């Protein structure tokens, strides 16, 4: 991701079909992508591969299937979470907001629309 977004800010949002707070956040991301189709957003479902149909269904429902989507490829998410961030204990949603120098601001739990819009205005405008 760092190479792909070299010198540019971007967001990575980790979510799950089984996470109620993630659903509201996905709706917020869908709204923002309608407003700003070039929003540098990467969505990562932490669900096991067996839940891929439910992940795809939810993304289709929210018109997010054309967004930059990924899904964990292992049933054991703990190992992959550790690779992403050694401090991450699995709380969802989990967001990483990277500025143009790729310094990360981490947010656990649902991110507010106001906070996200302020971050976007500061880093994308």
The per-residue pLDDT string of the chain (125 residues; one tens digit each, 9 = 90 and over) reads 778 888 999 999 999 999 999 999 999 999 999 999 999 999 999 999 999 999 999 999 999 999 999 998 877 777 777 778 788 788 999 999 999 999 999 999 999 999 999 999 999 86
**Strand runs labelled E in 1-90:** 10-15, 41-45, 68-71
Question: Residue 83 falls within a domain, yes or no?
Answer: yes
Question: Residue 5 falls within a domain, yes or no?
Answer: no
Per the structure, the complete domain to which residue 18 belongs is given by: 10-124
CA 13, CA 41: separation in Å to the nearest integer? 8
Structure token digits, residue 68: 């930059």
Residue 116: count of CB within 10 angstroms of its CB: 19
Q: Find the CATH number of the domain harbouring 113.
A: 3.40.30.10
pLDDT of residue 101: 94
pLDDT of residue 36: 94
Q: How many angstroms separate the Cα of 76 from the Cα of each of 52, 58, 90?
A: 15, 21, 11
Contacts of 43 (CB under 8 A, 6+ apart): 13, 15, 26, 29, 59, 64, 67, 68, 69, 70
Structurally, the chain folds into a number of domains equal to 1
Question: Residue 4 falls within a domain, yes or no?
Answer: no
């Amino acid at each position: 991701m760092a190479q792909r977004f070299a010198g540019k800010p971007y967001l990575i949002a980790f979510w799950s079909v089984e996470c109620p707070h993630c659903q509201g956040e996905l709706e917020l991301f869908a709204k923002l992508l309608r407003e700003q189709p070039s929003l540098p957003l990467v969505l990562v479902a932490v669900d096991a591969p067996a839940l891929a149909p439910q992940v795809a269904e939810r993304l289709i429902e929210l018109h997010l299937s054309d967004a930059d989507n990924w899904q964990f490829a292992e049933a054991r998410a703990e190992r992959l979470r550790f690779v992403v961030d050694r401090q991450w204990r699995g709380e969802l949603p989990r967001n990483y907001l990277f500025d143009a120098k790729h310094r990360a601001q981490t947010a656990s739990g649902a991110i507010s629309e106001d906070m996200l819009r302020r971050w976007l205005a500061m880093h994308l405008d």
